[in-house]
Every structure is written in C-alpha cells, then in structure tokens.
Amino acid sequence: AAGQNKQHFITKNTAKLDRETEELHHDRVSLEVGKVIQQGRQSKGLTQKDLATKINEKPQVIADYESGRAIPNNQVMGKIERAIGLKLRGKDIGKPLETGPKGK
C-alpha cells in the first residue's frame, strides 16, 4: 500500500455524503407565521413598509417573512412580535403577546 494516494480512494459513503450535501437547506418561516404577521400588521392598519420602518428593517424583510421565504432570525421575529403584539414563536403562535414587567 506504499505510495497510495488516499485522497483519491473512494469509499462506499461518498455517494451518501454527496446526497446529504446537496439536500442541505435552511429552515424557512412557516406560512402560518407569515399569515399571523400579515393579519397582525393589517389589524394595526400598517403597510409592509410602515411595519418595516417601525422595526428598523427593510420592507423586503417583511415581505419575505409574510410569504414564508425568510430564514427565521430571532431578533427580527422579536421586533415583529412587539410591533404587532402577537406571538410568532413557540406553541401558541398568533396569541396576544403578554407585555408583563421584565424581571431578572
């Protein structure tokens, strides 16, 4: 086995590894969350641009979240939750946000 180039040695797992690499993708925001954002925004009488301005993001970010194309970002989700007053994370999505005192 002297002088064998290990880099070109093909194993049975190579095809499996290739398939896994090609199938990797980021989780997207669910359509349920997108609908909640849209309903919450409309109930407050805000356009996508208004909401974006309010949370200091680009209007395209709001459009992506509402259409389910966005990759969830907890900071952005938190800002949207506070702006529309509805939960977007956890098991009670769409329920009103409890605005209790922040305790440490």
83 or 14, higher pLDDT: 83
φ, ψ for residue 44, nearest 5 deg = -90, 0
**How many domains in the chain?**
1
> Model pTM?
0.71
Residue 60 Ramachandran class (φ > 0 left, ψ -120 to 50 alpha, else beta): alpha
Position of tokens 């002297």? 2
Q: Give domain status of residue 41, yes or no.
A: yes
The model's pLDDT over 16-65, given as tens digits with 9 standing for 90+, comes to 666 555 556 678 888 899 999 999 999 999 999 999 999 999 999 999 99
User: What local confidence, expressed as pLDDT, does residue 27 receive?
Assistant: 80
Structural domain boundaries, residue 57? 29-88
φ, ψ for residue 77, nearest 5 deg = -60, -40
Q: Give domain status of residue 18, yes or no.
A: no
